[in-house]
């Protein structure tokens, strides 16, 4: 079945008890057992819930994988995936990554003697140079947040495989519609389903998807032991969002391209970062490993910090807020918002300066979005 069909049907057969076409919200803590030791596949909703199982089956199918685990948030999914490491293990991390992941990797997991090395993963040789005999995980994002750099998933997967390590790919920006890292050789895929998969800015969630059954059982055991699961209503909302992911991503991309082209060359803008531009450093790689270029656009204001802040506070359709990937357009200021956790020198080294603004381009009329940016930019001169 094609992607659009699987999004609507995978894991979503009619309810056997009632025939309900849409998966019900199984809003229950426990499940009545037929006898001691005899159940119908579910015993307690932390361990498993039919609504959550439908979401897990669906998102695994969309990623072309065998197993899925749904989590209470994107960061719960990141933390859940890191249950594959133990004390003394080493992790190689792409240094252009989400601030929340960096916070976990730099402030929490080192307390358990997990060691991290940060590299420019756009250069596969840098990944290989950072490997040690203790390396168990290579962690990348592509496209990266917020600078939209591209990492070669296949090359990173081969490097990890030779080292006996797992490659984990945060696929939140690309979504399963535009990119399937497991087909490119990755071992584990992580999503903040809060973003494009849910798509409506009304539910927090995360997911981990993988093919290896033994690793799946390890992560599932850890999830049950630690309890970072979504409630059935959250799972249902996320599943509902996933049904329209394909059609939404097509429009997100069309609008993002229109916005990026509108902004390019304007005197108020020093740079527009969008992988869809042929002169973007990662364009050829994006065209090879993705099926489109996504709905995110990152810009640098010629007027520096003052102009960037003024733009963020002057838009009317682009709401100033954390998050991304919803039907509504959002504007963010990475320096003080999504990437606040990074030290200033690290942000500047990666190009995340006080002049950078991140745009999550929504599904409004593209002309209206460009008009909104035009009026906001007029205040930045």
Q: pLDDT tens, position by position, for the chain (381 residues)? A: 999 999 999 999 999 989 999 999 999 999 999 999 999 999 999 999 999 999 999 999 999 999 999 999 999 999 999 999 999 999 999 999 999 999 999 999 999 999 999 999 999 999 999 999 999 999 999 999 999 999 999 999 999 999 999 999 999 999 999 999 999 999 999 999 999 999 999 999 999 999 999 999 999 999 999 999 999 999 999 999 999 999 999 999 999 999 999 999 899 999 999 999 999 999 999 999 999 999 999 999 999 999 999 999 999 999 999 999 999 999 999 999 999 988 999 999 999 999 999 999 999 999 999 999 999 999 997
Please indicate, yes or no, whether residues 151 and 254 belong to a single structural domain of this protein.
no
Mean residue pLDDT across the chain: 97
Q: Which of 26, 71, 98, 333 is catalytic?
A: 98
Where a domain ends, among 215, 243, 271? 243
**Buried/exposed 10-28: b ≥16 CB within 10 Å, e otherwise:** bbbeeeeeeeeeebebbee
Q: Looking at 243, 277, 311, which one is the last position of a domain?
A: 243
Which pLDDT value is given to residue 230? 98
Report the CATH number that the domain containing residue 282 is assigned in CATH: 3.90.1150.10
Q: What's the DSSP call for residue 264?
A: T
For the stretch 69-108, pLDDT in tens is: 999 999 999 999 999 999 999 999 999 999 999 999 999 9
Do residues 237 and 323 both lie within one domain? no
Q: Are residues 254 and 154 in the same domain?
A: no
pLDDT the model gives residue 134: 98
The four Cα atoms 330, 333, 339, 344 give a dihedral, to 10 degrees, of 170
Nearest Cα residue to 381 out of 310, 313, 275, 324: 310
pLDDT at 232 (0 to 100): 98
Cβ burial 81-92 (10 Å sphere, 16+ → b, else e): bbbbbeeebbbb
Residues 180 and 231 in one domain: yes
Question: Do 174 and 253 fall into the same domain?
Answer: no
Identify the CATH number of the domain in which residue 32 sits: 3.40.640.10
**Residue 46 falls in the annotated catalytic set:** yes
Q: Are residues 141 and 226 in the same domain?
A: yes
What tens digit of pLDDT does each residue of 270-286 get?
A: 999 999 999 999 999 99
Work out how many domains the chain is built from and give that number: 2
CA gap 171, 140 in Å, rounded: 9
User: Quick one: which H or E segment has residue 135?
Assistant: strand 135-141
- My answer on whether 56 and 160 are in the same domain is yes
The tokens describing 38, both together, are 């005899």
Q: Order across the sheet with 115-119: list the strands.
A: 67-71, 206-210, 188-191, 166-170, 135-141, 90-94, 115-119
User: What pLDDT, on the 0 to 100 scale, is given for residue 233?
Assistant: 98
* Exposure string for 273-312, b = 16+ CB within 10 A, e = fewer: bbbbeeebebbebbeebbebbbbbbbbbbbbeeebbbbbb
Looking at residue 83, its pLDDT comes to 98
d(C-alpha 371, C-alpha 366), whole Å:
9
Please identify, among 209, 243, 277, the residue that sits at the C-terminal boundary of a domain: 243
Catalytic residue among 170, 248, 309, 333: 170
Token pair belonging to 162: 């030779």
Q: In what order do the strands lie in the sheet with 330-332?
A: 269-273, 296-301, 356-360, 330-332, 319-320
From the candidates 6, 52, 195, 309, give the one annotated as an active-site residue.
195
For residue 172, the Cα-to-chain-centroid distance in whole angstroms is 2
Half-sphere exposure of 13 (CA within 13 A, CB side): 5
Shared-domain flag, residues 315 and 175:
no
Q: Let me know whether 328 and 256 are in one domain.
A: yes
Active site residue 98: yes
Whole-number pLDDT of residue 265:
87
Residue 195 bears catalytic tag: yes
Our answer to whether residue 368 is catalytic in this structure is no
> Residue 241 is inside which H or E element, if any?
helix 232-243
CA distance between the termini of the chain? 52
Separation of alpha carbons 314 and 320, rounded Å: 9
From the list 15, 46, 243, 371, the catalytic residue is: 46
Are 75 and 36 members of one domain?
yes
Whether 40 and 137 share a structural domain: yes
Domain assignment of residue 140, given as a range: 3-243
| Shared-domain flag, residues 222 and 271 | no
pLDDT (0 to 100) of residue 381: 78
């Amino acid at each position: 079945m094609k992607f659009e069909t699987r999004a609507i049907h995978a894991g979503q057969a009619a309810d056997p008890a009632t025939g309900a076409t849409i998966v019900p919200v199984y809003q229950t803590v426990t499940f009545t057992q037929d006898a001691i030791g005899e159940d119908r596949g579910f015993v307690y909703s932390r361990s498993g819930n039919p609504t959550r199982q439908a979401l897990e089956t669906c998102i695994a199918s969309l990623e072309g994988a065998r197993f899925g685990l749904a989590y209470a948030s994107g960061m719960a999914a990141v933390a859940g995936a890191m249950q594959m490491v133990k004390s003394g293990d080493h992790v190689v991390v792409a240094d252009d990554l989400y601030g929340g992941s960096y916070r976990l990797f730099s402030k929490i997991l080192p307390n358990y003697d997990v060691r991290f090395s940060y590299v420019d993963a756009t250069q596969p040789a840098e990944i290989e140079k950072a490997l040690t005999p203790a390396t168990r995980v290579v962690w990348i994002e592509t496209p990266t947040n917020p600078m939209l750099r591209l990492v070669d998933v296949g090359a990173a997967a081969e490097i990890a495989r030779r080292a006996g390590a797992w490659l984990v790919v945060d696929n939140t920006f690309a979504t399963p519609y535009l990119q399937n890292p497991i087909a490119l050789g990755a071992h584990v895929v992580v999503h903040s389903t809060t973003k494009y998969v849910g798509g409506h800015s009304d539910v927090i969630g995360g997911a981990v998807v993988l093919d290896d059954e033994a690793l799946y059982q390890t992560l599932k055991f850890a999830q049950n032991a630690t309890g970072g699961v979504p409630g059935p209503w959250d799972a249902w909302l996320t599943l509902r969002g996933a049904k329209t992911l394909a059609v939404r991503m097509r429009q997100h991309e069309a609008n993002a391209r229109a916005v990026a082209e509108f902004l390019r060359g304007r005197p108020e803008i020093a740079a527009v970062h969008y992988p869809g531009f042929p002169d973007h450093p990662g364009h050829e790689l994006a065209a090879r490993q993705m099926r489109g270029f996504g709905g995110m656009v990152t810009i640098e204001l010629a007027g520096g910090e003052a102009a960037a802040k003024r733009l963020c506070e002057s838009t009317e359709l682009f709401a100033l807020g954390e998050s991304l990937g919803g039907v509504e357009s959002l504007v963010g200021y990475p320096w003080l918002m999504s990437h606040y956790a990074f030290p200033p020198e690290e942000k500047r080294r990666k190009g995340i300066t006080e002049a950078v603004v991140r745009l999550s381009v929504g599904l409004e009329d593209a002309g209206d979005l460009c008009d909104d940016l035009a009026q906001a930019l007029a205040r930045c001169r």
